[in-house]
Structure 1
Amino acid sequence: MVEIYGIGGLILLVLSIWAIVSIIGSSATTGSKILWVLFVLILPLIGFICWLIFGPKATKRVA
């Protein structure tokens, strides 16, 4: 059981980092970005789910 929690924590960490990078790369205002990053950092699982549904999306890069 301990290994499952460790893997779950690692997955949550990776998803939170992905969310934060995406938030920073979005076209949202600076204040909005700060609030979303704090929300994801303070409540990782709930923050990630809320960001996924309601949060700013990263802008698409044109090569």
Structure 2
Amino acid sequence: MQIEYVWIGLAVILLLLELWAINVVLRSTGGWETKGLWLVILIFVPLFGLIAWAMFGPKREMPEHHRS
């Protein structure tokens, strides 16, 4: 396997993790100021932003889903 494919694979994994983290941030119960700050960090500093979000970001506080 060529080294380029390894880097492409790692970039795809990073992209998927970024999209997942952005989704979790948007669905969290935090205020819009906090969400906006995390989104800016995640988008403009992808790898280090993802690491910082995993360490210091919002914990698994998701809004309750109401069943109709």
**TM-score (normalised: structure 2):** 0.84
Moved over 3 A (4+): 60-63
Partner of 1:12: 14
Taking the TM superposition and a 5 Å limit, the aligned residue runs for 1:1-63 are 1-58=3-60, 59=62, 61=64
Alignment RMSD (CA, Å): 1.5
Q: Give 1 or 2 for the bigger CA radius of gyration.
A: 2
Structure with more contact order per residue of length (Cα contacts < 8 Å, sep ≥ 6): 1
**In the alignment, is the contact (CA less than 8 A) between 1:23 and 1:57 conserved in 2?**
no
Instruction: List gaps (5 residues or longer) in structure 2.
Output: none
**TM-score (normalised: structure 1):** 0.90
Residues matched between the structures, number: 63
